[in-house]
Structure 1
Amino acid sequence: MDILLVDGYNVIGAWPELRELKKKDLAAARDRLIEKMAEYQGYSGYRVIVVFDAHYVKGTEKKFKDSKVEVIFTRTNETADERIEKLAISLSNIKTQVHVATSDYTEQWAIFGQGALRKSSRELLNEMNTIESKIEKKVKKIQEKQPFSRIPLSKEMAEIFEKWRRGDQ
C-alpha cells in the first residue's frame, strides 16, 4: 500500500492557485486542496492524509475524513512537521511505502531518514496536473461513445427515455 502524507499549509503556499485563494479565504484554500487530494486518491489509489498545523485553527486535535481523504489538524503546540514525522514512523512497514509532500527542506531530510520518499510541492502539483489531464481525456472518450440509436429521436424524447432508464421519472 502507498500512503501520501501532505503538509497542507506548505502545499497551499507553494501552489499558485491555492496561494491566491489563501489570500482571500484560508478555509476555501484548505477545502480546494482536500478536493484535489480526493482526485489524487481516486486516481492513484493511495491512502492520502493531509496534515494542517494547529496555529491557524485553535483548539484540540481534530481528525476527519472528507471523501476518502483523511484530514488532521494537529493539537496546539504541535507542528504539521512533527505529526508527519510521527505518522511516517508509525505507518511505515514492509508492505507500505510512505510518500511525503512538502517543500520544507529540513522536513524532507527528516522524513527521508524514516524511510519515506519525499515529493516536493511542485512535483505534487505537476503530478496533479497530469492526473487531471488524464481524467479529462477519459471523460471526453466516454462522452464520445454515446449510444447510437437506430430510431431517430428528438432531444426531448431521448432525455425522457434516459430519465426512465435511470429511474428518475
Structure 2
Amino acid sequence: MNRIRTIFVDGYNVINQWDELKKLKDENLEDARDKLVEMLQEYAAYKGCSIFVVFDAHLVPGSIEKNEKSGKINIVFTKEGETADCFIERSIYQYLKSGAVAVVTSDYLEQRITLQMGGIRITPNEFLHELKAVENVITEKSKISYSQRKNTLEEFINKDILEKLERMRRNL
C-alpha cells in the first residue's frame, strides 16, 4: 500500500468522538476546533502528509467556502448547502492521483464511499490511537537526544573567557 499522502478529517465528527474535544466543545466550539488542529500539526509534520480538516458550515445562511492554512493543515469550512462529507467526496479523486488518501470519520456511509473510491477509511478512535503513538515516539526521541547530548562548559561560556581559563589551566 502507498504511504498516505493526504488525510481528510471530518472535523465535527471527530470532535464529537474524542472525549477531550467533546468536553471542550461543550464549553467553546472554537477552542475545540483549534485543539483538533493543534493535535494534527505534530502528526502531519512527523508523517510528512497533508491534512484537510473539514468543518460543516452548510447550515450557515450565505456562507461561502472558506480555506485557511496552518502548517501542513488545511482548514476548510464548507459553503452553504455543502456538508463536510460532500466536500471530502468531491476532493478524494483529485488527491488519489498523487498518492494514497485516507478519510477520518465515524460515518459508516462516508467510510463505504471512501473505500469504493479507492481511499482508506480510518475511524476517529483508530486515528486518535495513531496520534498518541506518534506523540509518544516524538517524546521518546526527544528524551533520547537530550540525554545523549553532552553538556560541556564550552557550550555555555563565552569564547574569550574559555580561552583565559585554558591559559590558566596550562600555567598551573
Q: Shorter chain as normaliser: what TM range?
A: 0.7 to 0.9
- Deviation above 3 Å: which 4+ runs of structure 1? 55-58
Instruction: Point out the structure with max Rg over C-alpha.
Output: 2
Q: What is the number of residues matched between the two proteins?
A: 154
TM-score, normalization by structure 2: 0.83
Shift of 1:147: 2.3
Residue 125 to residue 38, structure 1, CA distance change in 2 (3 Å) = same
Structure 2 stretches lacking a partner, 5+ long: 159-172
After superposition, residues 121-140 of structure 1 pair within 5 angstroms as: 121-140=124-143
Does the residue aligned with 1:89 lie in a helix, a strand or coil?
helix
Are the aligned partners of 2:50 and 2:73 in contact in 1 as well (CA < 8 Å)? yes
Are the aligned partners of 2:65 and 2:77 in contact in 1 as well (CA < 8 Å)? yes
Q: Percent identity?
A: 38
After superposition, residues 4-83 of structure 1 pair within 5 angstroms as: 4-55=7-58, 59-83=63-87
Shift of 1:97: 0.7
What are the superposed Cα offsets for residues 98-138 of structure 1, whole Å, 9 maximum, x if unpaired? 10000100110111111111000000000001011111101
Counterpart code for 1:103: S
Structure 1 stretches lacking a partner, 5+ long: 162-169
Does the residue aligned with 1:70 lie in a helix, a strand or coil?
strand
Are the aligned partners of 1:57 and 1:73 in contact in 2 as well (CA < 8 Å)? no
TM-score, normalization by structure 1: 0.84
Counterpart code for 1:124: F
Taking only aligned residues, the RMSD between alpha carbons, in angstroms, comes to: 1.9
